[in-house]
Amino acid sequence: MRPMRPRASQAAAPETAAAAESLREEETEDGWVFLAGRSRATRPPPPPPSPMARAVASGGSGGGGGQPFDPTAEDIVNRYLPLRRALRCDALPRQVHDADVYGAHPALLASVYPAANERFEWFFFVCRRRCPGGRRRAGPGDYRLSQEAKHRGNAFCHSFRYYEYEDAGGGFRETEWRMVEYGDRGRDAGAGGSEGFELVVCKVYPARGGALHERLGADRAVLATRHRADEDAKPQVLVQLYLASLRLGNPLACRVHRADDVFDAHPAVITAALPAANDRCEWFFAAVRPRGHAQGHGDGAPPRPRKAGPGAYVPVRECRVVDGRRGDMGCRLVFWYREDDEEARRASRRTEWWMDEYRFGPDFPYGELPAPMARGEDEELVVYKVYPRLVGNRR
């Protein structure tokens, strides 16, 4: 992924150059997608390791202070669920993701999201319809209840096994994937939440001691010593954003807000009344736009500044996203918000606003993922990440 060459007008602006330099110093990797530029004298970097291997390798202590992430049912029901219902995502552990567990195969989720710990466990907030039965439809199969609910206080947990549909004969085959669903029985009995829906936490993991569990352990050991050349590696940041956009507009289902127009006002204004997506004070917005809507971006044209309220987003960097076969998965455009008013610029000298714009390329693996939101042939999905940065006395 190569940083774009600044235009002459951008290179002449010292503030933009300083912003670009700070970005280069602070940011070399965005989760799963390698973003650093490379010189022409060097060979291209090797393809990234397989998604599943990276997901399990990234799982570790992560609980702060070197403690493994191992929440109890009481932690999940009495702490995490109330915070998530209140949209206090900034106070939640980052090991619990938002995802539609019942919309995809568990192996897909385990490939896209980092594991929460070294036991190969993934935790997800899920907004689902209330279904008292013993089956949960999920992608090309379903979860089937395998153990009676256990109650601890007002908490309940249901244990499931995942079964895949067989192509021949319409039968089912049990897999090694397991899932535990945690919820609040007291809340279910009341009138809280959206009618017909409830928020639960699902823990997804492979059966202990099975072939899949052993293979994940071997993947972690291999990745600890060297990178694997795997042509099936995917750009996981884009996949995560795509999955999050599928349930756009439901605040309990995802942490991505519908973007009427992120360029309507100052970034501090459009984020003031909305909950942040995480503890890093980041806001995500998604919209379906006419293709090439981004003011001159597209058909090889360099991106131009975007007017937004009393200032403008100035393009700083463009990074292409490629897979192991060098396929064009999309791009990430990085913008710095420049205040037009000199007095406002001086007042905000300790805080800068930035925006990342994510677009999906022609080789993005739509066919391997749940169906996208409806859009026309001349429309495309665009995801924006808006966030502030403290810059101290750099200027």
Query: In this structure, are 29 and 87 located in the same domain?
Result: no
Is the residue at 395 inside a domain? no
Look at 150 and 114; give whichever has higher pLDDT. 114
Structural domain count, the chain = 2
pLDDT of residue 180: 94
Query: In this structure, are 99 and 179 located in the same domain?
Result: yes
Is the residue at 2 inside a domain? no
- The pTM of the full predicted model, rounded to 2 decimals, is 0.65
Angstrom distance (rounded) from CA 235 to CA 40: 23
Query: In this structure, are 243 and 105 located in the same domain?
Result: no
Residue 143 above 90 pLDDT? yes
Angstrom distance (rounded) from CA 5 to CA 3: 7
Q: What is the largest CA-CA distance in the chain?
A: 72
Query: In this structure, are 259 and 173 located in the same domain?
Result: no
If 0-12 CB within 10 Å is exposed, 13-18 middle and 19+ buried, where does residue 83 land? middle
Query: In this structure, are 255 and 288 located in the same domain?
Result: yes
Angstrom distance (rounded) from CA 374 to CA 178: 32
Query: In this structure, are 115 and 214 located in the same domain?
Result: yes
Question: Which structural domain range is residue 201 located in?
Answer: 51-225
Angstrom distance (rounded) from CA 298 to CA 255: 28
Q: Where a domain ends, among 186, 207, 225?
A: 225
Q: What is the CATH number of the domain that holds 61?
A: 2.170.150.80
> What average pLDDT does the chain have?
73
Query: In this structure, are 384 and 246 located in the same domain?
Result: yes
Query: In this structure, are 158 and 97 located in the same domain?
Result: yes
Angstrom distance (rounded) from CA 315 to CA 304: 7
pLDDT of residue 85: 84
Query: In this structure, are 128 and 38 located in the same domain?
Result: no
Angstrom distance (rounded) from CA 291 to CA 285: 17
Kindly indicate the confidence band of residue 232, based on its pLDDT and cuts at 50, 70 and 90: very low
Q: Are 252 and 275 spatial neighbours (Cβ–Cβ below 8 Å)? A: no
pLDDT digits (tens, 9 = 90+) for 250-288: 656 667 888 878 898 999 999 988 888 877 788 999 988
Query: In this structure, are 41 and 59 located in the same domain?
Result: no
pLDDT of residue 121: 92
pLDDT digits (tens, 9 = 90+) for 50-64: 555 555 545 554 444
User: What is the number of other CB atoms lying within 10 angstroms of the CB of residue 305?
Assistant: 18
Q: Quick one: average pLDDT of 188-199?
A: 57
